[in-house]
């Protein structure tokens, strides 16, 4: 099943064009990895999917992005509702400087998802459990989230993202600030999460893309060079640029 | 080759040593000036916290006071104390002629009648009896007792006569002159007589002005800063506004005073000389300071926090109110306090809106006429009486204390509540 369909997406920062005519289909309940050298536009594309580029004044997005057959670039699209459905995890762990509990309950609170304290407690517990963090922090839910280690912080951010039960989770190099052990934990987690969520992950590490994803898109200088199943991209790419990048000849 | 490299290295070390020396001497100079300044103020001002009293026996003669038998409290209020007050002063020298009696009267403040009255009101049983009463010494004798008065000047160049000095010395010899902590400096309003002048009016005036200033400047400045930083599009127009806010911060304060005079007093007819007008004028001055501080602390909130909130589906308003603004508050508040401290020390605009008027009542609200601490310093510094010299320094000490406490408070808020971003 196709969850997200991007058609003819162009992105401009001021006069500079950052993405050229991107067309990409993303499968439901699978992990799609976006790879490519720095500055190739993969993060920009990711941020198109939950309209985070709106925050940047000079950024303009053209083209259609259909999520559940609804164009999110349409004027009638409500950004707040969209971002409730599309969660995001950032490169650097960015928990709110509040308690763990407040971090996870923030989304459900602003979207009115819990009627009582009990319900909220449940949401917080399930989210933290799904993020494989519950056992480590259950005794200190009311301590500040910024006191955790980097890997724990990132899992807290994942718990925060899944607390509103999004259909899609966008991950922008979620492991680049983490050590190998924390990275392994997050990768395991991604594998678990894809049962309920569609995941799109931007990564610099080709090994990571190969490990966690079912589909891969390769970006270069603002163009989507090639996309397809991860197996095919890594073992038998059609394009020589992809081949060169995968084998480490540039990037 | 090697040698010249070594020379170069030596040169660099020497340059650094010289530079450190310059820095150290600059700090030393600054500290030296500060020490001289503080020493001068304290050495002149500390004596203002002491007040000289003459202990004079007063006979509460019912007849002289025009009191009937068993007077009621009201009778005591209405009684005539002037005659017994005069008499008790005249009795200090039984042989005094009329001129000398007049001089004796001038050895105490003109409050002496009131002080004697209070004594009796506190203790009505004194009627018909004699009691030693503490009377405020005149400002000149106060200075004589504190050793600040040039006694050796020829008599015609002094305000204190030889006769007064003689009687005073006799009183001192008998132990009838005492120095006590000067409570009235804090509880009395301004007066033309230094011995009766206090800072209560100007202190309250300053407090009211600062409160009015805070209530106007803080909300306006914070809203302006939030709008400019979080919502306004970045274009030429907002750049222009930003430049102008920065310019506003550099406008001389007297210009704001003229604005207060021309607009608040002349057009809106707000009551002259009041902390209300003073506070509004000062708030114009404080506004840019707070806006700049608030914008700086909003800018210091990492964008990743905004992104995190936005990505959770928070609206821009929610992101700002739930995350950015609370995180920026410590910086904003300490900037506000520093702005208020500046306003507290401001004199020129207040003089223009009439807060320089002589006010001998303590204001009960921002609508009552009042002075303010810095203006009080200015008023006293202008006065000729010797007794005001120490009062000026004492008032400066109070103002400095006030400012130091405020700045300390700003520091504490900044250090205690500001989040550290790893």
Q: Are A96 and B309 a contacting pair at CB < 8 A?
A: yes
A126-165: per-residue pLDDT in tens?
A: 999 988 899 999 999 999 888 899 889 999 999 999 999 9
How far B403 CA lies from chain A's nearest CA (Å)? Answer: 32
Q: Phi and psi of B372, rounded to 5°?
A: -140, 165
Over residues A185-243, the pLDDT tens digits come to: 899 999 999 999 999 999 988 889 999 999 999 999 999 999 999 999 999 899 888 88
CA–CA gap between residue A147 and residue A153 (Å, rounded): 8
Res B422: pLDDT = 45
Q: Does B329 contact A at CB distance below 8 Å?
A: no
Residues B253 and B340 placed together within one structural domain of the fold:
yes
- Cα dihedral B286, B290, B292, B298, rounded to 10, equals -170
- Rounded to 5°, the CA angle B306-B308-B309 comes to 65
Q: Check CB contact under 8 Å for B308 and A95.
A: yes
Chain A residues with beta carbon closer than 8 angstroms to that of B310: 52, 55, 83
Instruction: For an interface test with A, give the residue of B231, B301, B308, B325 to mutate (most A CBs within 10 A).
Output: B308
Cα gap B151→B160, rounded to integer Å: 9
Measured between CB atoms, does B419 come within 8 Å of chain A?
yes
Residue B418 backbone class (left: φ over 0; alpha: ψ -120 to 50; beta: rest): beta
The percentage of residues in chain B with a pLDDT greater than 90, rounded to a whole number, is: 65
The minimum CA-CA distance between B307 and chain A, rounded to whole Å, is: 8
Classify residue B22: in a domain, yes or no: no
Q: Which residue of B has its CA nearest to A165?
A: B312
- On whether residue B307 sits in a domain, the answer given is yes
Cβ contact, residue pair B311, A90, below 8 Å: yes
pLDDT, residue B129, reads: 87
Q: Mind listing the pLDDT tens digit for each residue in B178-219? A: 999 999 999 999 988 899 999 999 999 999 999 999 999 999
Q: B343 pLDDT exceeds 90? A: yes
* Contact present, B145 and B52 (Cβ < 8 Å): yes
B111 shares its domain with B214 = no
Orientation of helix B162-173 relative to helix B139-146, angle to 10°: 60
Whole-number pLDDT of residue B357: 84
Confidence of residue B229 (pLDDT cuts 50, 70, 90): very high
Considering the domain architecture, whether residues B340 and B231 belong to the same structural domain is answered as: yes
Provide the number of structural domains found in chain B: 2
Q: For residue B419, name the pLDDT band (cuts at 50, 70, 90).
A: low
Chosen domain end from B131, B153, B182: B182
**Domain-located, residue B410:** yes
DSSP string for A49-82: TTTGGGGSTTEEEEEEEEETTEETTSTT--HHHH
Q: Is A251 part of any domain?
A: no
Whether A243 has its CB under 8 Å from any CB of chain B: the answer is no
Q: What is the pLDDT of residues B371-392, one digit of tens each?
A: 899 999 999 999 888 889 999 9
* Average per-residue pLDDT for chain B: 91
From the candidates A47, A89, A94, which should be mutated to test the interface with B, based on the most B CB atoms within 10 A?
Answer: A94
Separation between Cα atoms, residue A158 and residue A27, nearest integer Å: 21
Domain that holds residue B264: 200-417
Place of tokens 């996309």: A227
Where in the sequence is the domain holding A88, given as residue range(s)? 2-246
DSSP string, B14-53: HHHHHHHHHHHHHHHHHHHHHHHHHHHHHHHHGGGGEEEE
Are residues B322 and B219 both part of a single domain?
Answer: yes
Residue B21: count other Cβ atoms within 10 Å of its Cβ. 10
ipTM for the predicted complex comes to 0.91
Q: Count contacts between A and B (CB, < 8 Å).
A: 61
Q: Are A192 and A162 in contact (CB under 8 A)?
A: no
Which pLDDT score, from 0 to 100, does residue A251 have? Answer: 54
Pick from B302, B313, B323: CB nearest A83: B313
Residue B34, C-beta contacts closer than 8 angstroms, at least 6 positions apart: none
pLDDT band, very low/low/confident/very high, at B68 (cuts 50, 70, 90):
confident
Q: Give the span between the Cα atoms of A111 and B154, in whole angstroms.
A: 89
Cross-chain Cβ contact B311/A52 below 8 Å: yes
Task: Mark yes or no for CB contact B308/A96 under 8 Å.
Answer: yes
For residue A105, pLDDT over 80 is answered with yes
Instruction: List the single residue in A with minimal CA-CA distance to B314.
Output: A80
Total domain count for chain A? 1
Is B228 found in the same domain as B177? no
What is chain B's alpha carbon radius of gyration, rounded to the nearest angstrom?
Answer: 30
Please give the Cα distance from B356 to B377 (Å, whole number): 10
Distance in angstroms (rounded) separating the CA atoms of residues A165 and A210: 26
Q: Are residues B172 and B261 in the same domain?
A: no
Q: What are phi and psi of B302, to 5 degrees?
A: -60, 140
pLDDT tens digits for range B259-314 = 999 999 999 999 989 999 999 999 999 999 999 999 999 999 999 999 999 999 99
B207 and B117 co-located in one domain: no
Residues B264, B313 within the same domain: yes
Closest to B279 in 3D by CA, of B227, B343, B218, B324? B343
* Same-domain pairing of B234 and B299: yes
Tell me whether A80 touches chain B (CB under 8 Å).
yes
Task: Tell whether B206 and B177 lie within a shared domain.
Answer: no
Read off the CATH number of the domain in which A213 is found: 3.40.50.300
Q: Would you tell me the crossing angle of helices A117-130 and A100-110 to the nearest 10 degrees?
A: 110
Q: Do residues B164 and B338 touch, judged by C-beta distance below 8 A?
A: no
Contact A84 B313 (CB under 8 A): yes
Assess if residue A182 is contained within a domain: yes
Query: Considering B147, B182, B217, which residue would you say is the last residue of a domain?
Result: B182
Within-domain flag for B41:
no
B163 shares a domain with B129 = yes
Residue A250, pLDDT above cutoff 80: no
Please give the residue of chain A at the shortest CA–CA distance from B235: A57
CATH number at residue B387: 1.10.3720.10
CB B337 within 8 A of CB B413: yes
pLDDT in tens, A74-91: 888 899 999 999 999 999
3 state SS of A31: strand
Are B168 and B243 found together in one domain?
no
Q: Is residue A204 part of a domain?
A: yes
């Amino acid at each position: 099943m196709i969850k997200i369909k991007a058609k003819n997406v162009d992105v401009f920062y001021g006069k500079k064009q950052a993405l050229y005519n991107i067309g990409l289909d993303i499968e439901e309940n699978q992990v799609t990895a976006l790879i490519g050298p720095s500055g190739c536009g993969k993060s920009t594309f990711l941020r198109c999917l939950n309209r985070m580029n709106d925050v940047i004044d000079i950024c303009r997005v053209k083209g259609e992005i259909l999520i559940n057959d609804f164009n999110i670039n349409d004027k009638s699209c409500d950004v707040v509702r969209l971002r409730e459905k599309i969660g995001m995890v950032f490169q650097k762990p960015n928990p709110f400087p509040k308690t763990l509990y407040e971090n996870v309950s923030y989304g459900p609170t602003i979207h009115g998802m819990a009627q009582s304290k009990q319900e909220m407690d449940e949401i917080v517990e399930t989210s933290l459990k799904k993020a494989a963090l519950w056992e480590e922090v259950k005794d200190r839910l009311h301590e500040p989230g910024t006191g955790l280690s980097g890997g724990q912080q990132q899992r807290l951010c994942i718990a925060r993202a899944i607390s509103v039960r999004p259909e899609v989770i966008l991950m922008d190099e979620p492991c680049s600030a983490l050590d190998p052990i924390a990275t392994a934990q997050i990768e395991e987690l991604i594998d678990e999460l894809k049962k309920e969520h569609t995941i799109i992950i931007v990564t610099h590490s080709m090994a990571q893309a190969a490990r966690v994803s079912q589909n891969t898109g390769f970006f270069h200088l603002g163009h989507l060079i090639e996309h397809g199943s991860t197996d095919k991209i890594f073992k038998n790419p059609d394009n020589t640029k992809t081949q060169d990048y995968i084998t480490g000849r540039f990037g | 080759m090697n040698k010249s490299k070594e020379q170069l290295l030596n040169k660099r070390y020497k340059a650094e040593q010289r530079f450190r020396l310059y820095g150290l001497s600059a700090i030393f100079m600054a500290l030296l000036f500060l020490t001289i300044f503080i020493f001068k103020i304290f050495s002149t001002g500390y004596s203002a916290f002491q007040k000289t009293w003459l202990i004079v026996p007063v006979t509460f003669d019912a007849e002289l006071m025009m009191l009937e038998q068993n007077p009621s409290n009201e009778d005591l209020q209405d009684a005539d104390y002037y005659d017994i007050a005069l008499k008790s002063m005249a009795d200090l020298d039984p042989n005094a002629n009329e001129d000398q009696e007049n001089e004796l009267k001038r050895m105490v403040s003109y409050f002496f009648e009131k002080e004697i009255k209070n004594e009796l009101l506190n203790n009505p049983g004194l009627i018909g009896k004699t009691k030693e009463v503490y009377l405020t010494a005149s400002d000149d004798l106060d200075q004589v007792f504190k050793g600040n008065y040039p006694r050796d000047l020829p008599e015609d160049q002094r305000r204190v006569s030889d006769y007064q000095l003689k009687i005073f010395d006799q009183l001192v010899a008998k132990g009838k002159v005492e120095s006590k902590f000067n409570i009235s400096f804090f509880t009395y309003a301004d007066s033309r007589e230094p011995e009766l002048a206090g800072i209560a009016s100007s202190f309250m005036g300053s407090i009211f002005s600062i409160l009015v200033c805070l209530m106007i400047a803080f909300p306006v400045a914070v809203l302006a800063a939030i709008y400019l930083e979080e919502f306004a599009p970045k274009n030429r127009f907002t750049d222009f506004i930003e430049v102008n806010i920065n310019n506003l911060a550099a406008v001389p304060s007297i210009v704001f005073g003229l604005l207060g005079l021309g607009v608040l007093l002349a057009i809106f007819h707000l009551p002259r000389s009041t902390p209300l007008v003073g506070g509004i004028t000062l708030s114009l001055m404080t506004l840019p300071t707070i806006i700049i501080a608030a914008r700086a602390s909003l800018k210091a909130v990492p964008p990743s926090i905004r992104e995190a909130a936005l990505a959770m589906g928070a609206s821009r308003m929610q992101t700002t109110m739930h995350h950015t603004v609370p995180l920026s508050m410590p910086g904003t508040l300490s900037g506000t306090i520093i702005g208020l401290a500046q306003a507290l020390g401001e004199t020129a605009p207040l003089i223009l809106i009439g807060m320089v008027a002589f006010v001998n009542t303590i204001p009960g609200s921002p609508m009552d006429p009042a002075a303010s601490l810095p203006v009080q310093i200015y008023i006293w510094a202008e006065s000729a009486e010797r007794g005001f010299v120490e009062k000026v320094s004492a008032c400066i000490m109070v103002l400095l204390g006030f400012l130091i406490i405020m700045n300390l408070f700003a520091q504490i808020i900044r250090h205690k509540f500001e989040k550290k971003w790893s």
